[in-house]
Structure 1
């Protein structure tokens, strides 16, 4: 059976210590799930499972936040929930698991998405005192003492692809320009439930301000301006098969055409979207020119620019409303947020196929291709 996206909604993205910082993440996700069900007209009692992505599942994000969010929203107790961690791709992977469930017929109707409060649970909190690799004999034998750092990786990608700091900053500035234009033009309003203003895009930034920032690493070219912003947010999609669509009178908006995940060098870490995109297109029987819109998560400007160079995608079709450099990157929610945006953007531009991909910890990347109906 096919897997369909019936609904897609998100919260606004709040900056660290901003408007969403005091909202319990279970309440944040619960409110978005409630909005999703209201918009689609789906019966909460008919939902078979709730799958949410979340990273650093400690404190208010612990205890299986997918289950907690559903219950905190006052929804039926018989519906279970499960929380997924594929690092930055957690929200996207949640949708993949939902698609697999409904396509197999083991479930018919699944809520999938992600949530993250980086204000309440700082990035890296779950890594504790030693981190995930220190003390592992097998890791040391395979990868030696190569330091695992996303900032180092972003700089190494810039060197490998010959990207200058000027190029990174011009890309980052364009992300803010596109985000501000999308907000001012009302292009993202339909995606959002509740407060309709995303908090992170900067209207007053400039190349001069960016140039004045110090690199994140001595001798590097990556700065805070060319990196994704720490943020809070949630997003959710309703995934259904044909049986659920008929039984519950639902109206699909897109078909999930392809889902996959691939791995690459876990120390360089951030290059996997390049190979993953090629793999996904081949498996889906599509060419880069068949895709109307792309979302490549802007973890760092160097990641997006290297992906653009290798894929030869038209920059005019990539992150058309700005990316995580402008909007922020609430880790567990971003993959779902990008898919929410893609559903709405394909409808706006009358496009057929949309491709979403993102780099992830451990040198991984998810790819989702959806087809507008």
Structure 2
């Protein structure tokens, strides 16, 4: 069985809601990163066996298998297929895991994994509301509620004893770290500029410099009057796309490419769909057990900041040091373009590992329905 390696990773800037990316059709946004990916790698598009693309709001402009539409919008040969994946917020991380499994099984030699979401153009939850609730009578009989992610975040804060100060401190830290990473130029090498009607978008738009705990303390909670969750300690509504080029080691050698990282181990779990957001904890435990590695072996962790209690509860359970958790900020500062977020984070992760010579990195994300993916990358020397 061959190893699957990542040879290139690229993303758009993350655009804020109704910001610089909002005027661009999500298929065209996807096409932009697809073309940049193969251009940077020096690989012809006709070498790609498949494009596996994450997208949550698969309706309207993001419907009808946007992966295939993106391929055609990119001007790639009609012989290149595409398939769209929905594992909610982890859709494009799942795309990578599917790509890796297919390469290791010998089904593909070269495959693109990634995803897109234009939340400015496709309202969050729209695809789940067309034609009635996705939670039918049997689901209601079993759980008695329609799960709400914000309430799930409040449940996590209560269960793990996280105060308003705890979550606001984490949120301020996310903006501070993202701003520092942007100023240091850490994102520049992974971003493709996006032209729009007003010029070009080259930087992530969501970072709020000077965010403090005191400023966040003035925001009203959204889901519970006496709760802790508000707009400032939750992920931002965003637009963006990202992609990774995955190959067998043999294909990378054939194309004269030096791999950045190999996918060491991947896992996915299901957990309580009502609390919904705690599954990264068992997902991390499972992927570590399967890999034979321990927490101390991992040099950097990325836990998606859907809401601040998610990484904070995860950190309490796993005992991970603060400095290796989301070192360049996360979705609270950078934004969370749902179906594109997994690939956005993976792109930052592989660039961070290469820049700092970190052998192992681990990424995990909470997902709608009470699920989570976890993936361990190993830097290729």
TM-score (structure 1 length as normaliser) = 0.98
> CA contact under 8 A between 2:3 and 2:104: conserved in structure 1?
yes
| Cross-structure match for 1:7 | 8
Structure 2 residue matching 1:110: 3-state secondary structure: strand
2:322 is aligned, of 315, 325, 329, to 315
How far off its partner does 1:248 sit? 2.0
Supply the distance in 2 between the matched residues of 1:76 and 1:147 (Cα, whole angstroms): 43
| Cross-structure match for 2:353 | 346
| Cross-structure match for 2:78 | 77
> CA contact under 8 A between 1:21 and 1:120: conserved in structure 2?
yes
**More displaced stretch, 238-247 vs 23-32:** 238-247
How far off its partner does 1:131 sit? 2.5
Structure 2 residue matching 1:262: 3-state secondary structure: strand
1:210 correspondence with 2:255: no
Supply the distance in 2 between the matched residues of 1:268 and 1:210 (Cα, whole angstroms): 24
Supply the distance in 2 between the matched residues of 1:366 and 1:212 (Cα, whole angstroms): 34
Supply the distance in 1 between the matched residues of 2:69 and 2:146 (Cα, whole angstroms): 36
1:226 is aligned, of 215, 224, 233, to 233
Supply the distance in 2 between the matched residues of 1:343 and 1:167 (Cα, whole angstroms): 29
1:132 correspondence with 2:131: no
1:197 correspondence with 2:198: no
Supply the distance in 2 between the matched residues of 1:42 and 1:113 (Cα, whole angstroms): 17
Supply the distance in 2 between the matched residues of 1:27 and 1:291 (Cα, whole angstroms): 36
How far off its partner does 1:204 sit? 3.5
| Cross-structure match for 1:65 | 66
| Cross-structure match for 2:198 | none
1:262 correspondence with 2:269: yes
| Cross-structure match for 2:178 | 179
Deviations 1:241-265 (A, max 9, x none): 0231132222211010011100100
1:337 correspondence with 2:361: no
Q: What 5-or-longer segments of structure 2 have no aligned partner?
A: 194-200
> CA contact under 8 A between 2:176 and 2:211: conserved in structure 1?
no
Structure 1 residue matching 2:107: 3-state secondary structure: coil
**More displaced stretch, 41-50 vs 195-204:** 195-204
How far off its partner does 1:147 sit? 4.0
Give RMSD over aligned pairs.
0.9
| Cross-structure match for 2:197 | none
> CA contact under 8 A between 2:6 and 2:261: conserved in structure 1?
yes
How far off its partner does 1:208 sit? 2.3
Supply the distance in 2 between the matched residues of 1:17 and 1:140 (Cα, whole angstroms): 35
Supply the distance in 2 between the matched residues of 1:120 and 1:344 (Cα, whole angstroms): 29
Instruction: Kindly tell me the number of residue pairs found equivalent between the two proteins.
Output: 370
Supply the distance in 2 between the matched residues of 1:175 and 1:106 (Cα, whole angstroms): 40
Supply the distance in 2 between the matched residues of 1:265 and 1:11 (Cα, whole angstroms): 33
Structure 2 residue matching 1:228: 3-state secondary structure: coil
| Cross-structure match for 2:149 | 150
Structure 2 residue matching 1:313: 3-state secondary structure: coil
Alignment of 1:255-294 (within 5 A): 255-294=262-301
Structure 1 residue matching 2:72: 3-state secondary structure: helix
> CA contact under 8 A between 1:42 and 1:250: conserved in structure 2?
no
Supply the distance in 2 between the matched residues of 1:273 and 1:184 (Cα, whole angstroms): 30
How far off its partner does 1:360 sit? 0.1
1:300 correspondence with 2:300: no
Deviations 1:127-180 (A, max 9, x none): 1163211xx23212321x234111101001000000000110000000000000
| Cross-structure match for 1:19 | 20
Supply the distance in 1 between the matched residues of 2:133 and 2:124 (Cα, whole angstroms): 12
1:328 is aligned, of 325, 330, 335, to 335
Deviations 1:98-148 (A, max 9, x none): 001111111110011010000000100111163211xx23212321x2341
Structure 2 residue matching 1:370: 3-state secondary structure: strand
Deviations 1:31-54 (A, max 9, x none): 001001011111111100001000
> CA contact under 8 A between 2:13 and 2:191: conserved in structure 1?
yes
Supply the distance in 1 between the matched residues of 2:148 and 2:266 (Cα, whole angstroms): 28
Alignment of 1:157-172 (within 5 A): 157-172=156-171
